[in-house]
Structure 1
Amino acid sequence: MKKTLLLGILILLVLAVWTYQNQAAEVKKPVKILDKQKGVCWVGSPKPLEGWELDSLGSFGITHISQTPFGWQADPNLPDIKWEKHTDRMWWGESLIGLEYTTEEARQKGVESVLKPHLWVRGEWPGAIEMTSEQGWADWFEQYSEFILYYAQYAESHQIPILCIGTELELTSGRENEWRTLIDEVRTVFSGELTYAANFTEYEKVKFWDALDYIGIQAYFPLAEKINPDLQSLKNGWKKKIKEIEKVQKKFNKPVIFTEIGYCNTVDAAIAPWIWPNERKAVALSEDVQALCYQAFFETAWEKDWLAGAYFWKWYPQPRDRNPDFTPQDKKAQEVMRSFYTAGL
């Protein structure tokens, strides 16, 4: 009887040890990024580049640029998408010829590209795209898949390391099965890494992050409630958002990329960072607030091990003298970005 009892205890101990070892083996190591992508969102040029336009990127510590070819959808509720396959009426820098030239010239200067196709919706933003029937959804995903695969094949042939499969398509991303099918299709032609650029109001609801390599966020988080905020209040705003991001990051154990982040040079830049410059023409300008927004980001979110990179919206081939605007070029924010992007070099 005693031998039987001891044998039973021994078996239970062995099973317990075996279970513990297997559970421990299944625990994934926390994400820790060593070489962050120090990026800007490159604006495609209307006319061919001469090459020198990319020369200054290295001096700012920029290691990556995102390039954005466009597709066009006339109505957010109708599944009709056009892109370069259908028309040559586009800026040179957004065509395959322009993308190829920019990619190769940047690469020669030590700057890598991320390809980020984007839908332009007449009178709306991509987050408004929503079909009104199941057949409409089937037609839309069929066309959208063809659009993305067009650029996935290009990205593969030019060894582009990261492809973003969608941007701010907030009312479509809940259709998990369709997106998973699209991701599988893309992986048959593209061997690089994949992300999706979810709006900051969307990323917590996306269920297919496990099928991608990065959690992508359009990081236009509101950081303040008043104009002319100080640095500490902006950092406090980021700390709240970081806690929310970390819940998603830990759930999927994927690195995060801020596929876009940016602030206008206005006193209200931190209240609603996503507002277009044309809607801010009556707002007072402030390089100081823009620079503080950059500083707050770098002193909080940028320091996180799980953040693989950030892409500041936006960077022109030739700086423009337009106010207000998102670009940090020739402004105080540019020097803040430079100081953090070049730190340790």
Structure 2
Amino acid sequence: MTQPDLSVLDDHFSAMTWGWVGDRGTWTTDAARASLDALEQLGCSWIVLAYATLQATPQSTRIDYAAAPTLTDDEVRWGIRESRRRGWKICLKPVVNVANGTWRGFIGFFDQDVPGEPTWAEWFASYTDYIVHHARIAEEEGVELFVIGCEMVMTDGREAEWRALIERVREVYSGLVTYNCDKYQEDRLTWWDAVDVISASGYYPTGEWPRQLDRIEPVVRRHGKPFLFIEAGCPSRDTSPQRPNDWTLEGAPSGQAQADYLDEMFTACAARDWVGGFALWDWPAALYNPADAAANTDYCMYAKPGEAIVRDYYASRRSG
């Protein structure tokens, strides 16, 4: 494979995550086309196509990505081609979730193999098969950026396994490779040198952005690689700016709280020249009715005050 071209990132990576969780049958619909059409008004230069497959429990070692509810290959290709037709550069983000509802960050096994117990080697073999399969699709469709994993905190310390996975991906995919670490993990990974782009989930509480950016900056400077907040955002609830990563946190609907949080985040990061951009969370394949936006408490900012904040910020990046 040829050396990945970092210039495709340009100076204004302005993205939205679309289509989550990507259950089979949800993408190739009229509603999905309408959602993509509505997203065009936001001024994104990139789109992150995010979808999940399932393993049964955090200690399962079988990832059957060919089975429902995982998107079919044709559905993934549909999302890529529809996005390309709208002029966006594309990041493909296949993710593994746990069917019993446990967050993927808790997927993990014994440090030392024990006879009869599931092992890291078994899990990584299945996970690598899943990721390499989708890396081949990314290569065939000309996808510019590929995410090899998302917020898999308990796996992060398995450096040798991740390096081996990256080598397998690079055998079939010539674009840029990144790993989406979870919040607070940017300075803990020991294998950033193996990827092309450092990326993280930036769900930091209101008031915390300057301190967290101070913590992350030395990592980015040391490795000399582009950095993206490839997830970032806040539910539109009055409580969510204090805990933006918690989609279950109860609170009253508040589009203004979301808008204020996004403005604070953008303002803090604009002062750091090493922050290469954002892929905001998230824009569903089936949008709610705009008339219901005031009561909607999810991350999507469609028809809420936050939409104007994002549109204006993305426009300023294009003109800057």
Q: 1:238 aligns with which of 187, 192, 209?
A: 209
Tell me the SS of whatever aligns to 1:68. Answer: strand
Aligned-partner Cα distance in 1 for 2:29–2:76: 11
Structure 1, unaligned runs of 5 or more = 1-30, 224-233
Q: 2:72 aligns with which of 82, 95, 107?
A: 95
AA matched with 1:168: E
The C-alpha deviation readout for 1:236-268, integer Å capped at 9, x for no partner, is x21111101102111211111111101011111
Q: Which structure 2 residues correspond to residues 167-206 of structure 1 after superposition, within 5 A?
A: 167-206=150-189
Aligned-partner Cα distance in 1 for 2:199–2:277: 10
The C-alpha deviation readout for 1:50-101, integer Å capped at 9, x for no partner, is 4443223332111111112322111112312221x2x1x226xx33222212
**1:201 CA displacement:** 2.7
Q: 1:110 to 1:303 in 2, by over 3 A?
A: farther
Q: 1:59 to 1:323 in 2, by over 3 A?
A: closer
**1:166 CA displacement:** 0.3
Residue in 1 that maps onto 2:46:
64
Q: 2:12 aligns with which of 20, 33, 36?
A: 36
Matched, 1:73 2:55: yes
The C-alpha deviation readout for 1:206-255, integer Å capped at 9, x for no partner, is 111011011110111122xxxxxxxxxx4xx2111110110211121111
Residue in 1 that maps onto 2:275:
307
Residue in 1 that maps onto 2:144:
161
Q: Which structure 2 residues correspond to residues 111-260 of structure 1 after superposition, within 5 A?
A: 111-121=88-98, 122-132=100-110, 133-134=112-113, 136-223=119-206, 234=207, 237-260=208-231
Aligned-partner Cα distance in 2 for 1:56–1:292: 22
AA matched with 1:46: T
**1:34 CA displacement:** 4.7
Aligned-partner Cα distance in 2 for 1:145–1:268: 38
Tell me the SS of whatever aligns to 2:239. Answer: coil
Counterpart contact for 1:79–1:131, Cα < 8 Å? no
Q: 1:46 to 1:318 in 2, by over 3 A?
A: closer
* Paired positions, count: 294
Counterpart contact for 1:62–1:341, Cα < 8 Å? yes
AA matched with 1:245: I
**1:104 CA displacement:** 1.2
Residue in 2 that maps onto 1:333:
306
Residue in 1 that maps onto 2:236:
265
Aligned-partner Cα distance in 2 for 1:54–1:78: 35
Residue in 1 that maps onto 2:246:
275
User: Which structure has the bigger radius of gyration?
Assistant: 1
**1:303 CA displacement:** 4.5
AA matched with 2:220: Q
Structure 2, unaligned runs of 5 or more = 1-6
Tell me the SS of whatever aligns to 2:278. Answer: strand
Aligned-partner Cα distance in 2 for 1:305–1:169: 27
Deviates more, 1:168-177 or 1:55-64: 55-64
**1:284 CA displacement:** 1.9
TM-score, normalised to structure 2, is 0.86
Counterpart contact for 1:218–1:260, Cα < 8 Å? yes
Deviates more, 1:126-135 or 1:323-332: 126-135
